[in-house]
Amino acid sequence: MTDAVLRDDVASLLRWYVDNGLDETIGEVAIDRLAPAPPQAPATAPPATRSPVAPTPIRTPPQLAPPRAPVPLESPQVVEDARALARRCATIAELEAAVRDFEGCALKRTAKNTVFADGVPGSPVMIVGEAPGADEDRLGKPFVGVSGQLMDRMFDAIGMSRERDLYITNILFWRPPGNRTPTLTEQAMCLAFTRRHIELVQPKILVLAGGTAAKAVLDTTEGIMRLRGKWTVLRLDDGSELPTLPTFHPAYLLRTPASKRQSWYDLLSLDKKLRELKER
């Protein structure tokens, strides 16, 4: 074995020691913790001295680049940019393209799809829910999961369907991770597009499904228990006014079947309102 190979082996062993936290040499021989304690030296004996040992060189870790500052996606300016962008859209198709190209909301980075709308534009009833779930994120359409199937059956009971009478969307176009409640900034950012969405669709009646959608669109702090079933008027930025009915979200009805009776009353009220508008 050459001296060069021996030096390389020793250097590799020292590097291994340092990498594992062994960066200080204590003695020439390993300490046997199980051996009996040696007899103490007489008090007059001079203390034993150890031969000096050269310190083991410590490898300096590489310098890491400082982390980059995160991009301020959800700032007040981004919300204003969303509002300005939405106002420039003159058609539903332009608005959809603007939403799909919008990069200001961090939710888009974790979502699989942009969930814009489903149903028939120009329908008499527009439904606005909260946010896409797992099924909606996977398929790219709102209310297509279990709760959406329940909603379809509910409207079918009063003779309405998404293929003919309904236009459906959410206040958020991207699924929040884990279906968490969207933050106020996320809501404000997407609501800029949603309000313009309502203006462009021009439905006769707006249905707000769930507390999050109702509070965001109506700009109120009251919960869905107080808002549900009470007709109100939504005043849009273009000056138009729209009869609006908050109701329970179908997902809530799946968790609380006893509340289906109240939602049935809401549907009957909706059907009555539509008949009244047709007679005018």
pLDDT in tens, 163-187: 999 999 999 999 999 989 888 889 9
Length of the chain: 280
Reported pTM: 0.72
Dump pLDDT digits (tens) for 84-120.
999 999 999 999 999 999 999 999 999 999 999 999 9
List the chain domain ranges: 76-279
CB atoms within 10 A of CB 29: 6
Q: Measure the CA angle with vertex 40, ends 39 and 43; round to 5°.
A: 150
> For 40-56, how does the pLDDT look when each residue is reduced to its tens digit (9 = 90+)?
655 555 555 555 555 55
Are 190 and 173 a contacting pair, CB within 8 Å? yes
Query: Cβ–Cβ contacts within 10 Å for residue 230, how many?
Result: 13
Q: Is CATH 3.40.710.10 what the domain over 76-279 is classified as, yes or no?
A: no
Neighbour-count burial for 195-207, b at 16+ CB within 10 Å, e otherwise: bbbbbbbebebbb
